[in-house]
A and B are shown apart, each in its own frame.
Chain A
Amino acid sequence: MSDDHVYLSLAEAGPGPDGEARWAYGTGFADPLLGVDAAPPVGIDPADLAAYCLMLGDDALVLSQRLIQWITRAPELEEEVALANLGLDLLGQARRLLTRAGQLDGSGRGEDELAYWREESAYRNVRLVELENGDFAQCVVRLLLFATAREELYRRLVGHADPVLSAVAALGVKELAYHREYAAAWTVRLGDGTEESHRRMRAALDALWPWLEELFTPHEVELRLGVDPSPLRAPVLAALEGVLAEATLPVPEVVGRAYVNGRGGRHGVHTEAMGPLLAELQVVARAHPGATW
């Protein structure tokens, strides 16, 4: 079998309209839900379910993009590899969730169209994940906040009536546990480290803690679907306080960031960090619409 090479298989499986084999953006054959039953679950409004998949998918996609920006900039090679792995997990979750959203909303849009061709106001991620990367302490704190909350959410979504959402959660809860442990270990190391690392961790906590509340603030879609995130607040805060105590870091006494006219990331109202992030994410696809290679 030495003459067998997987790219031969790809070439056979993935001819584009021009007959050329492709295996990157625009391949068309790498449907992350290939052959998974696409029927919407009975008794749930598909539009609401699509909107919810978009919220969770956009959280994962945007944080993945922020993590990928650490490549070539991380303090050590091991951390760079770790952050890339975390980003890859989140990107995989995002691909399934965005594909699911496109199946359910009746628009026929695939993951690429949703990721590359929506405007900022159509993105539904919480604002925490879009903020500038800042220093490594901010990277660690954002991961800690997000992973703790998302693991807790996924745990509750396992067994959801939508089989795709349930499956994303069932695998995601195990992946997010690794993310949280990574962030918790660095939180302890930096918080209980040098004077400088402690100072930076406190600054990062003060900067990011106000954005945590949005993860617990229910959107009307979540209330209609029976997935109100507000009960996550108590267990997530308890877990975070445990890590911070171990790290000799005080729980920040800061108020949550308010919505703008009652609207936030879940409504498409983002911070000024979002535009440049999307520009980078979308530039190649938009510069060469429909490009394949």
Chain B
Amino acid sequence: MSTVLERAREVAAAVPDPELPMLTLADLGVLADVEETDGRVTAWLTPTYSGCPAVAEMAADVARRLRAAGFAEVEVRLRIDPPWSSDRISAEGRRKLAEAGIAPPAPGGAPGGLLRLGPTRRAVACPQCGSEDTEELSRFGSTACKSLWRCRSCREPFDRIKEI
């Protein structure tokens, strides 16, 4: 086991997500892999949604931090298969999301089935007060990966990471 590789992994894993800065790319499951051959480091990223506008920022940030940590030859590549899923968010990532007032996604990825009408009842706990008396206001929120909710108990609105 190369300690150089371990160090490269550590640096890449600590890069924050540009849109959810309380999470690292590793927490979010966007950092797919880090490889190292003769000092040359390749970091593989799996973007969340097809239209995620932050991919350039993520790639640039990973490359810059690796170079700043002393790795001279750095390459960032995308791995789009298998696709990202909300199941890739780590337990640590889920904890940090909840702490920041963003409800984490339920495990199990996107709900299946060809025909599903109306809002699906999922017990979503309010990240502010913990009440499960919450409702979905809109399935589409401030970024592609979030939906918009409101708590009926404490009356606070909150974001929630969607299952995909």
Asked whether A86 lies within 8 Å of B118 as measured between CB atoms, the reply is no
Nearest to A13 among chain B residues (CB) is B60
Asked whether A167 lies within 8 Å of B83 as measured between CB atoms, the reply is yes
Asked whether A188 lies within 8 Å of B138 as measured between CB atoms, the reply is no
Interface check A235, CB cutoff 8 A? yes
Interface check A23, CB cutoff 8 A? yes
Asked whether B59 lies within 8 Å of A34 as measured between CB atoms, the reply is yes
Asked whether B140 lies within 8 Å of A86 as measured between CB atoms, the reply is yes
Given contacts A12-B60, A88-B49, contact A33 B78 (CB under 8 A): yes
Interface check A193, CB cutoff 8 A? no
Asked whether B56 lies within 8 Å of A170 as measured between CB atoms, the reply is no
Asked whether B138 lies within 8 Å of A171 as measured between CB atoms, the reply is no
Nearest to B82 among chain A residues (CB) is A170
Asked whether B61 lies within 8 Å of A171 as measured between CB atoms, the reply is no
Q: List 16 A-B contacts (CB under 8 A).
A: A8-B64, A9-B60, A9-B65, A12-B63, A33-B78, A35-B77, A82-B138, A82-B139, A89-B51, A95-B50, A96-B50, A172-B50, A174-B109, A182-B139, A182-B140, A188-B118
Beta-carbon contacts under 8 Å, B89-139 to A: 109-111, 114-119, 137-139
Chain B, interface residues (CB within 8 Å), range:
35 or more
Interface check B39, CB cutoff 8 A? no
Interface SS majority for chain B: loop
Q: Which 5 A-B pairs have the closest CB atoms?
A: A35-B77, A92-B51, A92-B50, A13-B60, A88-B51
Nearest to B118 among chain A residues (CB) is A185
Q: Which residues of A contact B37 (CB under 8 A)?
A: none
Interface SS majority for chain A: helix
Nearest to A152 among chain B residues (CB) is B114
Beta-carbon contacts under 8 Å, A238-267 to B: 239, 242-243, 246
Q: Whole-angstrom distance between the alpha carbons of A4 and B85 in the complex?
A: 28
Q: Which residues of A contact B78 (CB under 8 A)?
A: 32-36
Given contacts A9-B57, A92-B52, A182-B140, 7 further A-B contacts (CB under 8 A): A34-B55, A81-B140, A82-B138, A96-B80, A174-B83, A174-B85, A181-B116
Q: Which residues of B contact A4 (CB under 8 A)?
A: 65
Interface check B53, CB cutoff 8 A? yes
Q: Which residues of B contact A32 (CB under 8 A)?
A: 55, 78
Q: Whole-angstrom distance between the alpha carbons of A219 and B57 in the complex?
A: 39
Interface check B84, CB cutoff 8 A? yes
Interface check A287, CB cutoff 8 A? no
Q: Which residues of B contact A14 (CB under 8 A)?
A: 56, 60
Asked whether B83 lies within 8 Å of A34 as measured between CB atoms, the reply is no
Asked whether A9 lies within 8 Å of B51 as measured between CB atoms, the reply is no
Interface residues of B (CB under 8 A from A): 18, 44, 49-53, 55-57, 59-61, 63-65, 75-85, 109-111, 114-119, 137-142, 144, 148, 162, 164
Q: Which residues of B contact A184 (CB under 8 A)?
A: 115-117
Q: Whole-angstrom distance between the alpha carbons of A152 and B114 in the complex?
A: 9
Q: Whole-angstrom distance between the alpha carbons of A170 and B85 in the complex?
A: 11
Q: Whole-angstrom distance between the alpha carbons of A110 and B50 in the complex?
A: 17
Interface check A91, CB cutoff 8 A? yes
Asked whether B75 lies within 8 Å of A35 as measured between CB atoms, the reply is yes
The 8 Å CB contact of A175, one of B49, B63, B81, B118, is B49
